[in-house]
């Protein structure tokens, strides 16, 4: 079994990883504070602080967690908690739940295996069965994998033994291929012959308001036929789309939000199998658009070990391995916690605090207008609030600069936390929040945090950006390379 990308120096909980020589033994504040959010408590520091307290107590109890996917692959993390009855046990259990939540949204799975104190297991079972935030996580994971969600006691020696799935999707250039990208307002398609684009097209559409799945099938098929007209044959089809796709099945996607649940199950879930069959059962692979964006960036940069973060209406993420492949991981980092402050902002969908969507998206810029003193003149809708912020930035308003600097500080600590779960040598930043001079302040602020907290990590990670034009032209082309063609 793989045990995830290791924490620094191989420490699997990341909590006792050595810091700088001048780091005080007691818990400490961030070396760089967000100018508009002094109460920010980075998960990167909070988890280390908890592990230090437990280890120094001399009574810590080891815990192993595994998140299993239906194919038997599993992600493992190990940590340490106070024993039952200790004054700090509740806080250490909460820290363990935050770790598990991150695992569920970064990796994904239908079954959680726990080897640790009975009280911790009971607390986690109650959390996912009785609390609104836990029930939200359990319900969504159940929808994604369709196997029922469960938290079970399992001895460490009996944890699932299949390694973490490392899908070989991506990077194929041979043959005559079609790639498509399904967005919320437009869809794109490209025809590719041995890696060379011979046709591309972008068509406006509004899928979210259509309740008939046949409408979606017909629209997608129209784009595929347009591309096929420029190919001598079709050897493979690859697709990028917003949502969660498991085994090329649609498990959750805002593109189909108007489709009734019964029709979703009978027509939408297997839609791409239907399309594959219509094209003679050629290889067809569909992946989350965040992953394909990361893949496109990886191909452009000629590098793997790349985490892509798109700051749009929410946070979208994707990951490409060092070998240049996608994985079966969820990478839904919008729901993964990055701030452990007890009064961290609440995500309106999940009801949970401190999740990535509120730090790396238009939601972040919108909520920071108030602390910056700009809310009084700002419009209500988030897209317009971002335009307002960009206009203030163009006018050299220092209050607008403070918003972007705050997000940059968030991002730096977010990257350090993400690096405990992903092998990262490259970061791709894109999305409307990163547009213009404000985007430069965000990336500069993130680099400042990396240099202050972990200079070696700052040296190792290279930042990349991609324009909307690059994304438009690269997304469908990268998608075309997802499936392999049998020899």
Least confident of 165-169, 221-225, 252-256, 356-360: 165-169
Per-residue confidence (pLDDT) for residue 141, from 0 to 100: 96
433 found inside a domain? yes
Q: Name the 3-class secondary structure at 472.
A: helix
408 and 285, same structural domain?
A: yes
Averaged over 283-303, what is the pLDDT? 90
Task: Tell which of 104, 134, 158 closes a domain.
Answer: 158
Q: In this predicted structure, what is the pLDDT of residue 24?
A: 32
Same domain (yes/no): 287, 435: yes
Q: What is the pTM of this model?
A: 0.87
Kindly write down the DSSP assignment for every residue of 228-260, as one continuous string: HTTSS---EEEEEESSEEETTEEEE-GGGTTS-
Same domain, 34 and 180: no
Does one domain contain both 127 and 203?
no
d(CA 7, CA 464) in angstroms, rounded, equals 23
3 within a domain of the structure (yes/no): no
Q: Are 484 and 62 in contact (CB under 8 A)?
A: no
Quick one: pLDDT at residue 247?
82
* Cα–Cα distances in angstroms (integers) from residue 22 to residues 17, 28, 413, in the given order: 14, 11, 19
Strands 74-81 and 61-68: antiparallel
Q: Is the pLDDT of residue 11 over 70?
A: no
446 in any annotated domain: yes
User: What average pLDDT does the segment 138-163 reach?
Assistant: 93
| Same domain, residue pair 99 and 238 | no
- Average pLDDT over all residues of the chain: 90
Mean pLDDT of 315-331: 91
Q: For position 52, what pLDDT does the model report?
A: 94
156-183: buried (b, 16+ CB within 10 Å) or exposed (e) per residue? eeebbeeebbeeebbbbeebbbbbbbbb
* Per-residue model confidence as pLDDT tens digits over 43-67: 999 999 999 999 999 999 999 999 9
CA-to-CA distance for 214 and 182, rounded, in angstroms? 16
Residue 401 domain-assigned? Answer: yes
**Domain CATH number, residue 273:** 3.30.420.40
- Are 228 and 136 within one domain? no
Question: Is residue 1 included in any domain, yes or no?
Answer: no
Are 282 and 353 in the same domain? yes
Residues 393 and 270 in one domain: yes
* 469-480 pLDDT, tens digit each: 565 557 888 899
**pLDDT for position 412:** 98
The domain boundary residue, chosen from 158, 189, 216: 158
User: Is there a single domain that holds both residue 486 and residue 420?
Assistant: yes
What pLDDT does residue 54 have?
Answer: 96
- Report whether pLDDT(5) > 70: no
Task: Provide the domain limits for residue 351.
Answer: 166-487
Residues 12 and 60 reside in one and the same domain: yes
Are residues 331 and 404 located together in one domain of the fold?
yes
Tell me which of 98, 131, 158 is where a domain ends.
Answer: 158
- Whether residue 103 lies inside any domain: the answer is yes
Per-residue pLDDT of 178-192, as tens digits, reads: 999 998 888 999 999
Q: What is the pLDDT of residues 78-135, one digit of tens each?
A: 999 999 999 999 999 999 999 999 999 999 999 999 999 999 999 999 999 999 999 9
Lowest mean pLDDT among 200-209, 248-257, 350-359, 460-469: 460-469
**Total structural domains within the chain:** 2
Distances (CA, A) of 123 to 17, 63, 187, 355: 27, 14, 45, 21
Residue 131 and residue 40 share a domain = yes
Percent share of the chain, pLDDT over 70: 92
Share of the chain above pLDDT 90, in %: 75
In a domain? residue 282: yes
Q: How confident is the model at residue 150 (pLDDT cuts 50, 70, 90)?
A: very high
pLDDT at 425: 97
Q: How large is the average pLDDT for residues 297-324?
A: 91
The answer to whether 429 and 442 are in contact (CB under 8 A) is yes
Q: Is residue 422 part of a domain?
A: yes
């Amino acid at each position: 079994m793989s045990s995830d990308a290791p924490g620094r120096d191989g420490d699997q909980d990341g909590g006792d990883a050595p810091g700088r020589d001048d780091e005080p033994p007691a818990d400490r504040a961030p070396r760089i504070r967000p100018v508009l959010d002094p109460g920010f408590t980075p998960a990167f520091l909070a988890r280390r602080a908890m592990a230090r307290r437990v280890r120094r107590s001399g009574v810590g109890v080891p815990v192993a967690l595994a998140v299993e996917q239906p194919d038997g692959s599993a992600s493992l993390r190990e940590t340490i908690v106070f024993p039952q009855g200790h004054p700090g046990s509740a806080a250490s259990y909460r820290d363990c739940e935050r770790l598990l939540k991150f695992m569920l949204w970064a990796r994904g799975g239908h079954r959680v295996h726990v080897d640790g104190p009975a009280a911790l297991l009971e607390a986690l079972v109650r959390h996912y069965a009785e609390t609104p935030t836990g029930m939200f996580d359990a319900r969504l994971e159940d929808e994604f994998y369709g196997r029922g969600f469960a938290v079970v006691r399992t001895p460490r020696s009996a944890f699932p033994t299949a390694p973490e799935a490392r899908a070989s999707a991506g990077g194929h250039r041979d043959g005559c291929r079609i790639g498509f990208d399904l967005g919320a307002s437009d869809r794109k398609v490209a025809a590719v012959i041995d890696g060379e684009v011979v046709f591309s097209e972008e068509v406006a559409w509004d899928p979210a308001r259509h309740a008939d799945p046949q409408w979606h099938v017909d629209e997608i098929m129209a784009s595929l036929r347009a591309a096929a007209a420029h190919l001598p044959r079709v050897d493979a089809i690859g697709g990028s789309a917003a949502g969660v796709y498991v085994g090329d099945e649609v498990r959750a996607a805002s593109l189909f939000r108007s489709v009734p649940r019964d029709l979703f199950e009978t027509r939408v879930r297997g839609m791409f199998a239907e399309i594959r069959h219509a094209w003679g059962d050629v290889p067809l692979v569909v992946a989350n658009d965040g992953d394909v964006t990361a893949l496109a960036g990886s191909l452009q940069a000629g590098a793997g070990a790349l985490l892509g973060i798109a700051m749009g209406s929410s946070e979208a993420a994707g990951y490409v391995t060092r070998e240049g492949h996608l994985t079966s991981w969820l990478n839904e980092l919008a729901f993964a916690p990055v701030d452990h402050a007890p009064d961290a902002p609440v995500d309106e969908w999940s009801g949970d605090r401190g999740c990535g969507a509120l730090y790396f998206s238009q939601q972040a810029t919108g909520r920071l207008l108030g602390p910056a003193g700009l809310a009084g003149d700002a419009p209500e809708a988030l897209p317009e609030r971002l335009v307002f912020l960009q206009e203030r930035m163009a006018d050299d308003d220092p209050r607008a600069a403070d918003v972007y600097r705050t997000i940059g500080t968030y991002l730096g600590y977010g990257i350090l936390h993400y690096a405990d779960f992903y092998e990262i040598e490259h970061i791709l930043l894109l999305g409307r929040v990163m547009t213009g001079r404000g985007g430069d302040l965000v990336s500069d602020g993130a680099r400042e945090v990396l240099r202050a907290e972990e200079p070696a990590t700052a040296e190792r990670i290279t930042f990349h950006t991609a324009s909307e034009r690059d994304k438009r032209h690269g997304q469908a082309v990268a998608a075309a390379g997802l499936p392999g063609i049998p020899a």
